[in-house]
Amino acid sequence: MRISTFFYTLQQGVRNIFRNKLFSLASIATITSCLFLFGMFYSIVVNLQHIVKTAEEGVSVTVFYNEGTTQERIDEIGEQISKRTEVSEIKFVSADEAWDEFKQDYLGEEYADGFTENPLANSMHHEIYLSDVSLQNELVVYIQSIPEVRKINRSEITASTLTGVNSLIAYISVVIIAVLFAVSIFLISNTVTIGISVRKDEIEIMKYIGATDFFVRCPYVIEGILIGAIGAAIPLGIIYFIYNTAITYITGRFSVLSELLQFLPVQVIYQNLVPITFAVGIGIGFLGSFITVRRHLRV
């Protein structure tokens, strides 16, 4: 295609949007509303998954060792455990560190001074944080097989609850996103199709005077792509404003809640939301216009 032809078809595509304002606005409004709902739900789901994941990172398994176990052997065991896929982080806590933490949390210096010796002399342990809380039982079974391990503290209720919540969010989000996605595709494609179908007489006239299929199709395909891009950009701008406003309000008004719930920055969410939204808007605009024009090229 020559450069002059390319710019001509591009110009005609832009003109078609303004020439058929009613259908262009209807198409843009449909794309905007559908992708806005999709984007808002996506933002909510991603934050819920992040909150659950953050809670999972705080779940740990505490491993205590038999009296007389050497520090060298404890370090060796810790090294072996750290290499397992279930483990995201492992931390060794000495007996002195355990006593200092206990004093700070429960006694205070004035009461702790009455102890001449460390009452937690045999409390050195490893705190093991999980990469996936659903793998806690597998890790515990492995640790129990180590002869030097005296005791393992774990929270089965917390682990099972977080695993269940995570699975529930995943199932619900997949179903709702799939439904929104399907409805969006149906509504957007139908709107674009109707907008171009009303100009079938114009397409047929161009064919009768000898225009090639490519020359006829290009302006409408460009029109569909531009409508899809505009319809995708508008909800992204609206969601960006609403999300930042909501997060600022929640963190400012409910400080306690903001400490418990760590929301993702909008930049993190938009890393995936922007390409998905534009791909859906532009893709449907392209396919809707391409398929519709193709039907009317047979004259």
The full DSSP string for 225-294 is: HHHHHHHHHHHHHHHHHHHHHHHHHHHHH-HHHHHH--PPPHHHHHHHHHHHHHHHHHHHHHHHHHHHHH
Dihedral through CA 57, CA 61, CA 64, CA 70, nearest 10?
-60
| Residue 250 CB contacts under 8 Å (≥ 6 apart), including other chains | 257, 258, 263
Residue 208, φ and ψ in degrees, nearest 5: -65, -30
pLDDT of residue 191: 64
Instruction: Give pTM, 2 decimals.
Output: 0.67
Give the side-chain half-sphere CA count within 13 A for 198.
12
Contact 227, 285 (CB under 8 A): yes
Q: What is the pLDDT of residue 255?
A: 65
Give the mean pLDDT per block of 10 residues along the chain (299 residues). Answer: 68 75 80 87 85 75 82 86 85 71 57 52 77 81 86 75 75 77 67 64 71 72 85 92 86 66 84 90 80 64
What pLDDT, on a 0 to 100 scale, did the predictor assign at position 66?
A: 84
Q: How far apart are CA 69 and CA 131, in angstroms?
A: 27
Question: Domain coordinates of the chain in residue numbers?
Answer: 3-55+161-296, 60-154
As assigned by CATH, the class of the 60-154 domain is: alpha beta
Residue 41: predicted pLDDT: 86
How distant is the alpha carbon of residue 31 from its chain centre?
21
Q: At 151, phi and psi to the nearest 5? A: -155, 145
